[in-house]
Amino acid sequence: MKKILFSLILMLTTVQLFAQDNGVEMADKLRSDGKIYVVVACIVIILLGLLAYLFSIDKRLKKIEKENLPKN
């Protein structure tokens, strides 16, 4: 019974997705002006910065963990 109810809920949520309009005015305007590439470039730069920061934190944590491990 739970599987049938869950399947029915999933089907009803997908029906709602078909009713959405695909036209996003802001994205269309940016694309027509050629500025969408600037937006994409900014997002990529921000994500690369976050990844570099996370890797540097991971590297430092590994170093601290290695120093604090008890020697046998």
Measured CA to CA, the distance from residue 29 to residue 34 in angstroms comes to 9
Please count the other Cβ atoms lying within 10 Å of the Cβ belonging to residue 32: 9
Tokens coding 55: 């890797």
The residue that leads in pLDDT, 39 or 45, is: 45
Q: What is the pLDDT of residues 19-37, one digit of tens each?
A: 556 666 777 888 888 888 9
**Sequence-distant (≥ 6) Cβ neighbours of residue 70 within 8 angstroms:** none
| Cβ–Cβ under 8 Å, residues 39 and 45 | no
Q: What is the pLDDT of residues 49-70, one digit of tens each?
A: 999 999 999 999 999 999 888 7
- Fill in the DSSP letter of residue 71: P
